[in-house]
Amino acid sequence: MEVIIVLLPIAIFLAVGFLLFFIWATKTGQYDDLDTPSIRVLFEEEKNNIVHNQKKEE
C-alpha cells in the first residue's frame, strides 16, 4: 500500500510532463507537415540547380 504513495505522484508527474511536451510540440509546428518529407525524394531537381552544383565541385 505504501508503494501507491510513491508511484501515484510519479505517474501524475510523468503524465503532466508528456502533456506539456505535446502542447509545446504542437505550438511550435512539429506536426504541421508529416507527408512532404517522405515524398520529397521523388521530386526532380531543376536543371539550373544541377549545373550550378556541378560547377562548384570542379
- List, for residues 17-33, the tens digit of each pLDDT value: 999 999 999 999 888 87
Report the pLDDT value the prediction gives residue 34, as an integer from 0 to 100.
75
Report the pLDDT value the prediction gives residue 14, as an integer from 0 to 100.
99
Cβ-contact 39, 45 below 8 angstroms: no
User: Is residue 13 over pLDDT 80?
Assistant: yes
Q: How confident is the model at residue 54 (pLDDT cuts 50, 70, 90)?
A: low
- The total number of residues written for the chain in this structure: 58
Report the pLDDT value the prediction gives residue 38, as an integer from 0 to 100.
76
- Within 8 A by CB and 6+ apart from 25, the residues are 31
pLDDT, the chain, mean? 82
Cα–Cα separations (whole angstroms), residue 24 to 20, 21, 28, 31, 33: 6, 5, 6, 11, 16
| pTM as predicted | 0.55
